[in-house]
Chain A
Amino acid sequence: MSRPVLNLLRVSRLPIFTQLHLEEALLRATTDNWLIINDGAFHPAIVIGISGRPQELVHCEEALQHGIQAIRRFTGGGTVVVDQDTVFSTLIMQGSSLPQVDCFPHPIMAWTEKLYRPAFAAAGCPDFTLRENDYVVGSGLKVGGNAQAITGRRWLHHTSFLWDYQREHMALLRQPAKAPKYRQGRQHGEFVTRLCDVLSPHRGRQALVQSIAASAAELGFELQERSLAEAAPALQHRPLLLGSKLLDLRSFAASAVEPNSNSSGR
């Protein structure tokens, strides 16, 4: 039996807004499987989930002063700050390529752990795991944000892994109203960790990017390298309604919620 094809697109410094449009186009306008790895965003951005309220999730005035772009994405989940030190990994899958994975949130998440756990182990981190829908290492340190979109018999799961981050940017996020139990009231700096502190600071990032692709091959896919030029035609499909949009935080700054005492995000 032939293995399902997984198109592998490896890019670097693709702007996150462009990445989100490309992802959604590939999800909605094709029936192909894709693994997209974007090693670093072009510039910093705050990316909010489909239902997030910026005034509750972001210190809007401060973000405006920093000149950081805010984006609403088409997937669920929380708010992240991304920049050149974020490693993005996106899976776009036709359900029939993974018949053992039901197209619902929990089965999809459980399957992604099967991809990322060996990838992290190969890159030098043997205790990567999934906990309450978050990817964590060690004693419960979050290493990135993830979210999904499910449409028809296709699904998309994307992750922003924190190779490194800037504290002043992370401080632009308000603490969300709901936190996972494993956070146990920890302050942001004790809850989230940088992968450069977990993996080899010199080779770990490249190793992680390479091992994610290798892990996908081990899961039974036939990887075929693709270029951005080969992926981009999906954006020309008509009709194509894309859900990711730029947000003008000025319209939310006026209705900002009073800050909590703990003002970190994630």
Chain B
Amino acid sequence: MALRVFGTLALGKLGLQTQVMQAAGTTAARAFATVVQGYKYAASHEWAKVDGETATVGISDHAQAELGDVVYVELPDVGKQVKQGETFGVVESVKAASDIYSPVSGEVVEVNQALVDKPGTVNTSPFQDGWIIKVKLSDKAELGSLLDADAYSKECEKH
């Protein structure tokens, strides 16, 4: 997500807290931003779940909470080349069109067409049904520059 600093979800005096969840996808109460163990995260709040030579990409629970109700997701074309750190689509919420950035480089092999009719799935299931694209990776070494769940949690907790 486009972000100058990691946004805060105010929880009394504690600021943002994150809760690390298992990849099975149990969901915490909405007051906490969740992360999923085993995923990789970009500082811009996108995640990548690697499965062999392909990565599934979406935006984090923190991002969806800060964005508000998502009403539109602009999906790239299948076959498009994406580059790590560059924008590949747009999410609209609260009158704002926010660029989303690919955490990986490669070729888009699938997009989540379900988001066309149900963009709010990004809010309700950011790590599962709200995935946005699947990318055939061109450089798996890039994954080393991404954050793991614990590191991403720490980044979120800074603010």
Contacts and interface: CB of A to CB of B under 8 A. Distances in A.
A109 B93 CA distance: 12
Given A104-B67, A150-B99, A152-B99, A95 B4 contact: yes
Interface of A: 49-51, 74-78, 95-96, 99, 101-109, 133, 146-155, 243
Contacts of A99: 4-5
A106 B68 contact: yes
B4 A50 contact: no
Interface residues of B, number: 23
Contact of B66 (A49, A104, A109): A104
B95 A146 contact: yes
B123 to A, nearest CB: 13
B95 A106 contact: no
A151 B95 contact: no
Contact of A75 (B1, B5, B96): B96
B39 interface: no
Contacts of A147: 95-97
B72 interface: yes
A101 B7 CA distance: 9
Contact of A152 (B2, B8, B68, B71): B2
Contacts of B96: 75-77, 104-105, 108, 147-150
A76 B99 contact: no
Contacts of A154: 2
B74 interface: yes
A106 B71 CA distance: 15
B94 A106 contact: yes
Contacts of B2: 103, 150-155
